[in-house]
Amino acid sequence: MTVFPRIALTVLVAAPVLAGVACRRPPATPPGPAVNQDSIDAENARRDSLARLEQMRQDELARERARRDSIANAGSRRDQMLEAARETIRNPVYFEFDRSDLSPEDQARLDAKIPILNANASLRIRAAGHTDSRGSDEYNLALGQRRAAAAKRYLTQHGIDASRIETVSFGEERPAAQGGDESAFAQNRRTEFEIIAGGDNIVVPSGP
Amino acid sequence: MTLSNSLRASLALALLLPAVPALAQDTTSNRGVRIGLSYQLGGRPGVYIAPVTGPAGDSVRAILQRDLDNGDRVTIVGSDSAGLALAPLIRGTTPSYEIFARLGAAALVVATQTPTGLRVALHDVAARKVAGARNFALPAFSSAREWRAALHAVSDEVEQWITGTRGIAATRIAFSRGGRLFIIDSDGWGETAAGGSAPALSPGWHPNGQRLVYSVLGEAGSRIMVLELSGGANRALVSRGGLNITPVYSPDGMTVLFSSGAEDGTDLHAVPASGGAPRRVTVGRGTDNVSPSYSPDGRRVAFTSGRSGHPEVYIMDADGTGAELLTPFAFGDQYYRSNPDWSPDGRSVAFQSQVAGQFQVMTISLRDRSVKQHTSESTNEDPSWAPDGRHLVFTSSRTGVKQLWVLDTETGRVRQLTRTGGARLAAWSPRLAGR
């Protein structure tokens, strides 16, 4: 904000007048410069109007900034919802040792994917089955495939077209957690979900 | 191939023994040719390998000694520095047989380098005479891999002279490490990357020893691949989507049997080795059926199946009929048995079985179904038979990392084969006959 030195200007304009008063001479002397109050007022008015213009311009900029911020906030909320939807799709399910059946908790995780898949017909996913490192390397590839297939079967039984879900197995070849304890094993017995098409413009379904 | 033929030809010429015609005709027989050596049958004859003079002499002797030792059918006598001192007892027309007899040697192997390779004479210590001699062609010493392979074939021949059973030195082992295929000589020398696609698993040998079939894991599914070892040509045999794993060649090389599945379990499928449509062999009804292994006559197959609820080893006819449980298990046992490999003599199946949570290598006799446990230290898995039906290569974590080890199933003796960690899923080649 520019500070306008209006008082200082007034003093400067008035200075010769005061000087004239202080150095009053006999009338024969020619008169000093006449103080034209009108021109001072006009000059002040001009500067006031410039200041108001500047103020209006600043206010307009602030409004524009606020408008942009609000749009950005809305966009980021939408991004967050999209990312949450993608996370719901990607959310893995977990299994017991040498098992491929789905627990109620895992079924709930799959249930959460269904409205998103229903609202986005072009969304395609890949279910990748994994195992812990304890079984046979070769048999674990088959077990991983069965885990991927179990997730796919649940989704297709709930109305998702089978052509939208690919399955693949990596057996014990790609552990999510390193280590030889049950905590690592449990994290590795899983089916992961990857979006392979239609993930950029997801329609987030309204309501739960 | 030419080398193998020249070996046989030179054998027929040089080995002037009554048994020679049988050898020239039948190389697949386990009985082979014996030079009627005089020693206690059933025992392990002592063998003294004389120092070999000439530029590569020390290497020749060391390789012959190590090969015969690895074969576990003879006992090497005088392999230490004291053995070198015995050399003068051989030179001259008549070796000092009585001294070698006192050292426990039933046979003396005297190798002499010739312009074309090696001349090997076998002395029968008890009979106090040369039992046989033969010339072997060897490639130039500079081509180490081929030279060693040819020398391993000499070792195998010598082992056959002495014991009647051909050795397994001239073989190699294929395996997977870090998603890549490797091949290593049976004595642990010359480990080399085999090429092909990655990540590669479960190599299996073509019976001609020149080709591997294996599985490669992709982001969208796995495929069955075939890799030519000379030249490195690599092609897909099965790429139909879904899971395609654990391929093996049939003993006649005409068929590849593998496990395949997508959404309804995995079943064994057969595909012509030259390519074509896979045909389903097992009817697993949603269970997993993997890791097949043919019987040596190609008429039966051992495999891992989860049809009883958890994995066990089954055997069936090669057309998929007559499947029966092979490995016994206690009801309620949460552990399992898998990865069978049918022995080349047809008499037993090696497999892995969980004991206290860790896999151990076992064999089961097909005659009386008796089970023998061969390992107990750490985790030991994925056994594969050597062509002699006696040795197994397997993966062991006993050093803290996965390495390949070789086990003599008769004595329990083990030796470490690989030296770089992460080796697994080994497959022992057929006899490679000097290649």
Task: Give B61-114 pLDDT, tens digit per residue.
Answer: 999 999 999 999 999 998 877 787 888 888 767 889 999 999 999 999 999 999
Nearest CA among B128, B3, B123, B104 for reference residue B45: B104
Q: Which residues of A touch B201 (CB under 8 A)?
A: 137-138, 141, 173
pLDDT, one tens digit per residue, over B288-321 is 999 999 999 999 999 999 998 889 999 999 999 9
Pair B233, B227: CB distance under 8 Å = yes
- The pLDDT tens digits along chain A (208 residues) read 444 445 444 444 444 444 444 444 555 555 566 678 888 888 888 888 888 889 989 999 999 998 888 888 887 888 888 999 999 999 999 999 999 999 999 999 999 999 999 999 999 999 999 999 999 999 999 999 999 999 999 999 999 999 999 999 999 999 999 988 999 999 999 999 999 999 888 888 875 5
- Looking at CA atoms only, how far is residue A84 from chain B in angstroms? 25
Inspect the interface and report whether the beta carbons of A136 and B201 lie closer than 8 Å: no
The ipTM estimated for the assembled molecules is 0.88
Which tokens hold the place of A129?
């089955």
Asked if residue B6 has pLDDT above 60, the reply is: no
Inspect the interface and report whether the beta carbons of B245 and A142 lie closer than 8 Å: yes
Asked if residue B2 has pLDDT above 70, the reply is: no
Give the relative orientation of helices A37-90 and A6-22 as an angle to the nearest 10 degrees: 170
Which tokens hold the place of B426?
């080994």
- Looking at CA atoms only, how far is residue A110 from chain B in angstroms? 17
Would you call A5 exposed, middle or buried from its count of C-beta atoms within 10 A (0-12, 13-18, 19+)?
Answer: exposed
Q: Is A66 left (phi over 0), alpha (psi -120 to 50) or beta?
A: alpha
B163 φ/ψ angles, rounded to the nearest 5 degrees: -110, -15
Q: How far is CA A4 from the centre of its chain?
A: 42
Q: Which residues of B touch A134 (CB under 8 A)?
A: 357
Q: Identify each DSSP E strand in B295-421 by its residue range.
A: 300-305, 312-317, 324-325, 337-342, 348-355, 358-365, 371-373, 380-385, 391-396, 403-408, 414-416
The overall longest dimension of chain B from CA atoms, in Å, is: 75
Q: Is B396 on the interface with A (CB under 8 A)?
A: no
Inspect the interface and report whether the beta carbons of A149 and B336 lie closer than 8 Å: no
Inspect the interface and report whether the beta carbons of A138 and B306 lie closer than 8 Å: no
pLDDT, one tens digit per residue, over A1-14 is 444 445 444 444 44
User: What global pTM score does this model have?
Assistant: 0.83
Nearest CA among B334, B320, B235 for reference residue B283: B320
pLDDT, one tens digit per residue, over A126-141 is 999 999 999 999 999 9
Q: Which residues of A touch B306 (CB under 8 A)?
A: 139, 142-143
Q: Which residues of A touch B311 (CB under 8 A)?
A: 98, 135-136, 139
CB pairs under 8 A between A and B: 96
Q: Is B293 on the interface with A (CB under 8 A)?
A: no
Q: Which residues partner with A192 through β-bridges?
A: A128
Q: Give dist(CA B224, CA A108) in Å, integer.
A: 36
